[in-house]
């Protein structure tokens, strides 16, 4: 058994010990090569339980947070899921291995192009990706059984995402400022009522509107490397 396989097994055992019970989520993480989604210089950290930078001021979430968010969605192979914030594409692949169809939105076009290469290389065929304003959701494809947001809404999730969620559907989203954020689980009871559960403290990049401009991408890269 090579070092990479040993690290992956160690990570899966750690996730189990930290309370992750959903076997579909654990299997998806175990069978997804996280090293493919991170820069070459950091591949030795692929199976450490830590977030890593992927460029343009963005990160790939730590595996425990990926597992918590995925498990909290209560996914089934019948679900149509919206992901806001494709990033590296790693979370998208985990979800796509469990749900029926995944629609994913990313505001940084270069990141989306790289993520699509990963989807193609892994032969994941049930993902549709779009460069767009994730705060507006994907109205042409509504309603969604589940929604996951991988960036932090400042006070409350965007109304458009609530509107596009089915009654009985679940949305997982971090909420808070840059310092204090809580991962929250919303379940839509009816058109005007939601139950809300706090899951754990987290730290995500902020949820921002519009497709990122070329200038913003330069500034994000400078802030990351500066």
Catalytic residue among 5, 27, 61, 195: 61
83 vs 61: CA distance, rounded Å: 14
List Cβ neighbours of 106 (8 Å cut-off, separation of 6 or more). 85, 86, 87, 112, 115, 129, 130, 131, 134
126 vs 135: CA distance, rounded Å: 22
54 vs 64: CA distance, rounded Å: 18
Residue in the block written with tokens 């990706």? 129
Answer yes or no: 88 catalytic: no
By annotation, the residues acting in catalysis are: 61
């Amino acid at each position: 058994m090579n070092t990479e396989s040993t690290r992956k097994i160690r990570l899966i055992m750690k996730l189990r010990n930290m309370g992750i019970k959903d076997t579909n989520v654990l299997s998806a993480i175990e069978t997804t090569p996280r090293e493919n989604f991170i820069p070459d210089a950091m591949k030795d950290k692929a199976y450490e339980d830590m977030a890593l930078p992927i460029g343009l001021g963005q990160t790939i979430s730590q595996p425990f947070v990926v597992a918590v968010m995925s498990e909290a969605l209560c996914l089934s192979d019948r679900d149509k899921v919206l992901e806001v914030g494709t990033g590296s594409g790693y979370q998208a692949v985990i979800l796509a291995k469990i749900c029926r169809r995944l629609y994913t939105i990313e505001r940084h076009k270069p990141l989306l192009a790289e993520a699509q290469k990963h989807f193609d290389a892994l032969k994941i065929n049930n993902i549709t990706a779009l460069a767009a304003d994730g705060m507006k959701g994907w109205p042409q494809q509504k309603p969604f059984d589940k929604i996951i947001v991988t960036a932090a809404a400042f006070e409350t999730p965007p109304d458009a995402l609530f509107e596009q969620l089915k009654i009985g559907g679940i949305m997982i989203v971090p909420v808070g400022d840059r310092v204090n954020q809580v991962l929250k689980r919303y379940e839509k009871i009816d058109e005007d009522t939601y139950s809300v559960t706090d899951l754990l403290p987290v730290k995500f990049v902020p949820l921002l509107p519009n497709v990122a401009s070329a200038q913003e991408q330069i500034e994000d890269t400078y802030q990351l490397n500066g």
